[in-house]
Each structure stands twice: as C-alpha cells, then as structure tokens.
C-alpha cells in the first residue's frame, strides 16, 4: 500500500468471501468489519467503551456534520477527533459528498466542487476535493475518503457517465491534496450507477491513480437488493485483491452477508442505532419490534445466550415498557444490543471464512431468519 504504516493482510478466502486484517497505527481492523456510525462525534445513545465492548474495531465520522458543528478547526485545536470523542481506535471519515446531496439546500455543483447552505442555520459553505481532504486531516482521521458525487438512482447511462467522470477528476485532486501521509490512508470511491462498463472504467481510473483501499459508492440508493447484488457481482472482484474493499452505507444484515460472499470487506450504516432508537431489535431470527403488544408480558431477554448485557439481562416486557413510557433507556439498550448483534455477525463470518465453512454459515443464517421469532414463551 502507498501508506507504509497502514497495511492490509488477506488471511483467508473461500470463493470470493475474504477474511483479513487492516493494520493501522491505532489498532487492527478485522475484516469483514462493520463500522458503527458516529456521525457527529458520537455513536448515538452509546458510550465509547460500550461500543468497543461490542467488538467494534473502527468508527465512522462524518465530514459534513463536523465541518458545520463544531467545525474541524475547533476539533483540531482540541487535539483531534479521537481525543474529542474519547475513542482511541481507528476512525474512518467520509468526504461529506453524500450528505451535501441529501441534506444541504441551495446546492450548486461545478467542476471545482459544490457550494451549499447548511441545513442547520442556512450558512453558506464550499466543499471541494481539496477542502474535503483538509477537513479530514484536521480531524486526524486514520482512513479518509475522496470527494465524490453520489450518482442518484435512477439515472440514465449518460447521466451516470457524466457523474462518474466528475468523481474521477475529483478523486485525482483529492489524492494530490492528500499527499504522502504514512500514518493515514486514502480510499478511492467507485461510481458508475448500475452500468457495468462505467463501473469498470471507474475502477480502471482509480487503480491507475493508486489508492490505499477502494470504496464502492452509489449503491443502497433505491436500486433494490437484486440490482445491488448484480453490481457487486462484477464490481468487487474487479478491485485489487491486495487492497481492502468498502461498501458504503449498506447495513441490512442480509445485504452485508450477500456482499461478503461477493468479496466486500468493510461496511457502515446508521441502521442498527437508528432502528434501536425506534424499538427495532435485530436478532438471529430476524428483526423484531419491541413496541408490539405481544412483548408486553414476555419475560425473556432478546438473546439469553449473549454476553451483551443489553441482550441478555433485560426482559422484552421491560424493553416494551421503556418504549411505551418514552424512557431514554429503551433506545440506549436496543442500540447497544443491535451493535453487538452486528459485530457478532461479522465475527461469525470471519471465523467461517477462516475455517472454510462460509457456505454452511450463510445457509444457517438464512434458515434461522426464515423460522422467524417464533420461540414459545
């Protein structure tokens, strides 16, 4: 890799599924890896030590949100994002491009970058490839992303091509701005919509530039799981084998399992914490809604066999009560449980790939979910 102090080691492979470790100065990231999202310098409703206890090796921070509040300059003045949020492990930051498109108003796109008004107070800002890297460096992120335009869905092939080519020009500028940073890594982002030839051209452009890892962007934007899998079928295996592969913003358990089978190493998504705040728990038998009346008298925990206190110590009846009463502890406990479930899923995948048993693991994963949450009281 170009960043000499950040190295990816591929430990095992079964079919396209891979198990490895991304070594950074702040600690190893075991892959397949799920990165909890700390959008504004915090994983919502979670203490950092509880996030670590779930098995998380790395967190994600968000350039867009942190540049607006409290500003990257202030975080840098206070010692960087790790010190600011009391997380001593690796942090990956996105470039902010997706949030500019989805949250900001009065956007104006140009070759130079994008200008926009903050969704918080309407203040005007500019985000260029160079500024996106500057912000991530001020945050002192271990793994940084190039600025890209997230191609919307649906998009015509002509629209997707124009968007992809702009993102590739921005990727080149981002790489130049990043320079030589031996303790940090820069990932390129593959775009091209649902069009194979555009994805292949994007991969070629990025590999010609040379990055420390490669992200797959522009998915989970409305195309549906079948189309997403089709794109991954030809995109992930075409990326350099010796570099980590990161599927951005994908976080349904079944989608992550499908992506691992296609060669993806890293994931992030707000789903486990967002769902937890609204009463949904992810389990081996599929998702359940603790707000539903059927849980009101259920003395069982979500998962009696789990070593996570939120999963094993509190009854479903109590969790149901907390959500009905509007108590903060409910979202806290379900966020904790969901993150633990996600890390347990990643751990199971790593072990299965290492032992050459990933096919059986995935069959068991789907069989359990097909049964549903039907255990008798």
**Rounded-to-integer distance, Cα 217 and Cα 147, Å:** 11
316/263 same-domain check: no
217/309 same-domain check: no
Beta strands at 245-247 and 213-216: parallel, antiparallel or unpaired: parallel
Q: Which two tokens stand for residue 147?
A: 């600025």
**Rounded-to-integer distance, Cα 244 and Cα 214, Å:** 6
150/203 same-domain check: yes
Return the HEC string of 17-44. EEEEEEEECCEEEEECEEEEEECCCCCC
Comparing CA positions, the residue from 345, 337, 347, 336 lying closest to residue 49 is 336
Residue 299's domain comprises 276-371
Beta strands at 33-38 and 27-31: parallel, antiparallel or unpaired: unpaired
Q: Which two tokens stand for residue 349?
A: 């995948």
pLDDT, one tens digit per residue, over 17-38 is 999 999 999 999 999 999 999 9
Per the structure, the count of domains in the chain is: 2
Bridge partners for 163 per DSSP: none
Domain boundary residue, one of 269, 295, 311? 269
DSSP codes of every residue in 97-152: HHHHHHT-EEEEE-SS-EEEE-TTT--EEEE-HHHHHHHHHHHT-SEEE-------
Q: Is residue 2 domain-resident?
A: no
Q: What is the pLDDT of residue 252?
A: 97
89/201 same-domain check: yes
**CATH code (residue 92):** 3.20.20.105
pLDDT, one tens digit per residue, over 310-360 is 999 999 999 999 999 999 999 999 999 999 999 999 999 999 999 999 999
Angle at 167 between CA 183 and CA 243, to 5 degrees: 40
What is this structure's pTM? 0.97
12/67 same-domain check: yes
161/298 same-domain check: no
Helical H runs in 151-235?
Answer: 157-178, 196-209, 225-235
Report the largest interatomic distance among the alpha carbons of the chain, rounded to a whole angstrom.
61
Measure the N-to-C terminal CA separation of the chain; round to a whole number of Å.
Answer: 53
Q: What is the pLDDT of residue 372?
A: 84
Q: What is the pLDDT of residue 374?
A: 55
Q: What is the pLDDT of residue 34?
A: 98
Say which DSSP state 288 is in: E
**Rounded-to-integer distance, Cα 76 and Cα 138, Å:** 5
**Rounded-to-integer distance, Cα 168 and Cα 174, Å:** 10
Q: Is residue 230 domain-resident?
A: yes
Angstrom distances, CA of residue 250 to CA of 48, 85, 265, 270: 22, 24, 12, 9
Q: Which two tokens stand for residue 126?
A: 């500019």
Per-residue confidence in pLDDT tens, the chain, 377 aa: 445 799 999 999 999 999 999 999 999 999 999 999 999 999 999 999 999 999 999 999 999 999 999 999 999 999 999 999 999 999 999 999 889 878 888 889 999 999 999 999 999 999 999 999 999 999 999 999 999 999 989 999 999 999 999 999 999 999 999 999 999 999 999 999 999 999 999 999 999 999 999 999 999 999 999 999 999 999 999 999 999 999 999 999 999 999 999 999 999 999 999 999 999 999 999 999 999 999 999 999 999 999 999 999 999 999 999 999 999 999 999 999 999 999 999 999 999 999 999 999 999 999 999 988 755 44
Catalytic positions, written as ranges: 94, 268
Domain boundary residue, one of 269, 301, 331? 269
Q: What is the pLDDT of residue 3?
A: 55
């Amino acid at each position: 890799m170009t960043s000499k102090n950040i190295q990816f080691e591929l430990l095992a492979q079964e079919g396209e599924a891979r198990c490895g470790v991304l070594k950074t100065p702040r600690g190893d990231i075991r892959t397949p890896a799920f990165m909890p999202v700390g959008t504004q310098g915090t994983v919502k409703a979670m203490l950092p030590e509880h996030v670590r206890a779930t098995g998380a090796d790395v967190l994600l921070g968000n350039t867009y949100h942190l540049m607006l509040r409290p500003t990257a300059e202030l975080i840098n003045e206070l010692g960087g994002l790790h010190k600011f949020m009391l997380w001593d492990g690796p942090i990956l930051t996105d470039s902010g491009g997706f949030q500019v498109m989805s949250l900001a108003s009065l956007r104006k796109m140009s070759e130079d970058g994008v200008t926009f008004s903050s969704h918080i107070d309407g203040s005007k800002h500019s985000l260029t490839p160079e500024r996106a890297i500057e912000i991530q460096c001020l945050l002192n992120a271990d793994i940084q992303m190039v600025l890209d335009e997230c191609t919307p869905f649906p998009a015509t092939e002509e629209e997707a091509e124009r968007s992809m080519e702009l993102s590739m020009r921005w990727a080149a500028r981002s790489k130049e701005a990043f320079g030589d940073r031996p303790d940090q890594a820069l990932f390129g982002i593959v775009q091209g919509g649902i069009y194979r030839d555009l994805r292949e051209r994007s991969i070629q452009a990025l590999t010609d530039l040379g990055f420390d890892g490669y992200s797959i962007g522009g998915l989970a934007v409305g195309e549906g799981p079948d189309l997403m899998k089709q794109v991954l079928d030809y995109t992930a295996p075409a990326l350099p084998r010796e570099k980590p592969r990161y599927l951005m913003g994908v976080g349904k358990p079944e989608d992550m399992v499908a992506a691992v089978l296609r060669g993806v190493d890293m994931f992030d998504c707000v789903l486990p914490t967002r769902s937890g705040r609204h009463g949904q728990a992810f389990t081996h038998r599929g998702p359940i809604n603790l707000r539903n009346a059927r849980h009101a008298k259920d003395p069982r925990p979500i998962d009696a066999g789990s070593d996570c206190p939120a999963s094993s110590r509190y009854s479903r009846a109590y969790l149901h009560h907390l959500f009905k009463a509007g108590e903060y502890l409910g979202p806290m406990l379900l966020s904790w449980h969901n993150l633990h479930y996600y890390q347990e899923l990643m751990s199971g995948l790593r072990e299965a790939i290492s032992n050459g048993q990933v096919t059986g693991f995935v069959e068991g994963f789907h069989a359990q979910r097909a049964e549903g949450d039907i255990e008798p009281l």
